[in-house]
Amino acid sequence: MTHPVYKIEAAVRPMAAISGRAVRLSWTEARPAVQVIFQLRLLAGALIGAGAAADVSWGVMAAGAAAWLLLTWSAYLLNGAADVVEDQSNGSTRPIARGDLSALTGGRLALLLGALGLSLSAALSERFFLLALLLLVLSWAYSTGPAPLKNTVAGVQVAVVGAGLVTYLAGISAAGVPVTGTVLVFAVAMSAWMGIGGLAKDLSDVAGDRAAGRHTLPLLWGERRAKLAIAAAAVAVGGSFLAAALTAAPGLVPAAALVLAGSAALAAVALGRWSTGDRRAQRRPYRLFMLTQYSAHLTVLAEVVLR
């Protein structure tokens, strides 16, 4: 009979064999630009909720940010490991798709990062841990299982918008500040904007999504109708955000105006010739989505810090 100690060693050995190079590649696979915006979402929830940087418990906030980084790193690494067929069909240059990092190693690292993130979250508070667990459940349900959420338009929206809302609430929890009307307006609006990003990225991923059997908007409706729907949804989110800011959260008006401007630009690019052609051109609406959310978050954070 095998001694229990040897069984434990056999389970841990694959983790210990993960190299520093694999960790670096896993960070690239997790899309650093996306990891940074998740940190900005967390920070925005804290600072908008607090109203002033001095009112934030920065020690706890730093621990919360580290935990959240481990969780989102895990989520996007797992997504890369689960999307090999799609990413290779789309010509992705990320490490797993190009063969520099195996999907097996990526999956193992995702498990390790997720466990570390949950452990650190549990040390902060019960509320933060529950939010962290919800994020991980949403993220893993998006990429894996018998019916991954990534396969349908509705599933993508549930995962993406849900991950946004959970992140803003986690920032509020880590900072130990109340949930105010202003922070709710921002969290709901920018989570809805994340839903636009979930739609926009599909415009450049048609080949991979078709190969993987997904049911995305471009595959269901065709490219032209999908672009019309995305453009209309983007402007609706931008306009609703500005209307809500003018009515209930005046401090968010500059950020809301930026989102409306970004939505108009995204709509113009999606409906014009700028998003037609090779994959680089097709990704322009998504890049405008990213630029808009970065601009909105940095504007809000700067306003609170300089207040």
Please list the pLDDT of the chain residue by residue as tens digits (307 residues).
444 333 334 444 445 457 788 999 999 999 999 999 999 999 999 999 888 776 778 888 999 999 999 999 999 999 999 988 888 888 888 899 999 999 999 999 999 999 999 999 999 999 999 999 999 999 999 999 889 999 999 999 999 999 999 999 999 999 888 899 999 999 999 999 999 999 999 998 888 888 888 999 999 999 999 999 999 999 999 999 999 999 999 999 999 999 999 999 999 999 999 998 888 899 999 999 999 999 999 999 998 888 7
Which one, of 294, 307, 41, lies nearest residue 175 by Cα? 41
Residue 181 amino acid letter: G
- What CA–CA distance (Å, rounded) separates 171 from 205? 32
Note whether 265 and 253 are within 8 A (CB).
no
The tokens for 272 are 């014009």
> Buried b / exposed e across 272-302, counting CB within 10 Å, b at 16+?
eeebeeeeeebbbbbebbbebbbbbbebbbe
Q: What is the pTM of this model?
A: 0.91
Q: What is the pLDDT of residue 11?
A: 40
